[in-house]
Amino acid sequence: MPMGQDLFLWLAGAAVFILVLCVWTMGVVLWYLWRAGRSERVQQRLGLAIAPDPNAQQGGRTIRLWRDGEAIATTVPTNPGMLYHLEQVRRELGWKTPVLSLVLGIIGLSLLVTLLLFLAVGNLPLAVAAGALVIIVPWMMVTRRIDQLNELFVSQFAEALGLATRSLRAGHPLPGAFRLVAEEMEPPVSTVFGEICQQQALGVGMSDAIRSVASRSTNADMKLFAAATVIQMKSGGNLADMMDRLQNVVRDRIRLHRKARTLTAEAQLSKRIMAAVPFVLFVLISIQNPTYMAPLLETRTGTMLLFAAGALLVIGVGLINHIARLKY
């Protein structure tokens, strides 16, 4: 039997094995999703869906300090892992599916697309590129959606602070002011304050409820609000004046962010043009002279060049996004 035929049979057997493995993995993921959704519905029905301590989520390192002959233990949070960040993303988007199931599902779908395209075309670099796109494109869509939700949350958060300030000055207690915000505002701000009220109604202290919700938020303004509110509640300060000043700070940050977006608009336009020009030229040249682009699609070297060009394009777009992003 020729060597080439042996290699083909070996690749075919490996492809069938990977295909069966992908189908089995997707079946396990679907079963896990069903079990996780059922468990989460039961916990919500029983009122057990209360966020744990932030240090328990992120992990921490216990340090013992000695003072006057007594040991004092404190927990220093460590850097959270990738799964913790993905869990925060899942909560921000309001998804019910567990993070591990999402990761396994996307990886399984990527492997399945890679395998099917390799069996159909026989071009391994092209199949790998298609499998990578299955992971990259959803992540870009999720990132864009998170940015939109953050912008919406910040704009609503300033109005929510103003509403809470007026409610406190009218004589309402702090839980009543938060409940008014949850009823009058739109999501996602109403969801955040509604969760604080829900935890407080279930017996959690107001300070603990505020810290718990803020620890699961990726917004810096929400964390600042939680810290300022808890300090004012412990020190007995004027909550209405504090929220009024915090509202002005948030509005100043919004104006600064919009000004920065205006200044970086040229870089964003350059990014879009740089990303679109290769595809436009490829289509135009292919229509004008199809044989000119044939080596890129029909030869292994051409496919590798296309793969390298796509990778460099993604890296360039990512660098421009990183440079133009304002962190404050």
pLDDT at 271 over 60: yes
Tell me the CA distances in angstroms from 204 to 21, 235, 274, one per residue in order.
Answer: 46, 20, 52
pLDDT in tens, 228-250: 888 888 887 788 898 999 999 88
Instruction: Give whole-number Cα distances, 130 to 19, 108, 117, in Å.
Output: 16, 13, 8
State the chain's mean pLDDT as an integer: 77
In sign, the C-alpha dihedral spanning 139, 140, 143, 149 is negative
Which range among 84-93, 138-147, 173-182, 269-278 shows the weakest confidence by mean pLDDT? 84-93
Query: Which residues lie closer than 8 Å to 97 by C-beta, 6 or more apart?
Result: 33, 36, 37, 90
Share of residues in the chain with pLDDT > 70 (%): 71
Q: Write down the pLDDT at residue 49.
A: 43
Span 51-109, pLDDT tens digits: 444 444 445 566 666 666 666 666 655 566 666 667 777 777 777 777 777 777 788 88
Gap between the Cα atoms of 12 and 19, Å rounded: 10
Quickly state the pLDDT bin for 261 (edges 50, 70, 90). confident
Q: Where are the domains of the chain?
A: 147-262, 264-324
Beta-carbon count within 10 A of 90 CB: 16
Going by pLDDT thresholds of 50, 70 and 90, the confidence category of residue 165 is very high
DSSP 18-78: HHHHHHHHHHHHHHHHHHHHHHHHHHHHHT------HHHHH-EEEEEEEETTEEEEEEEEP
User: What is the average per-residue pLDDT within 38-57?
Assistant: 49
Query: Which residue would you say has higher pLDDT here, 284 or 218?
Result: 284
What residues have CB less than 8 Å from 243, skipping those under 6 apart?
A: 161, 164, 165, 168, 229
Q: Is residue 175 a contact partner of residue 206, using CB atoms and an 8 Å limit?
A: yes
- Average pLDDT in the 166-175 region? 89
Long-range residue pairs from 297-305, CB within 8 A, at least 24 positions apart, any chain: 300/123, 300/125, 303/123, 303/125, 303/126, 304/125
Domain 147-262: which topology? Receptor-associated Protein (1.20.81)
- In percent, how much of the chain has pLDDT > 90? 4
Structure confidence at residue 1 (pLDDT): 45
Residue 264 DSSP one-character state = T
Q: What residue spans of 47-188 are helical by DSSP H?
A: 54-58, 82-93, 99-121, 124-169, 174-184
Segment 108-124 shows an average pLDDT of 79
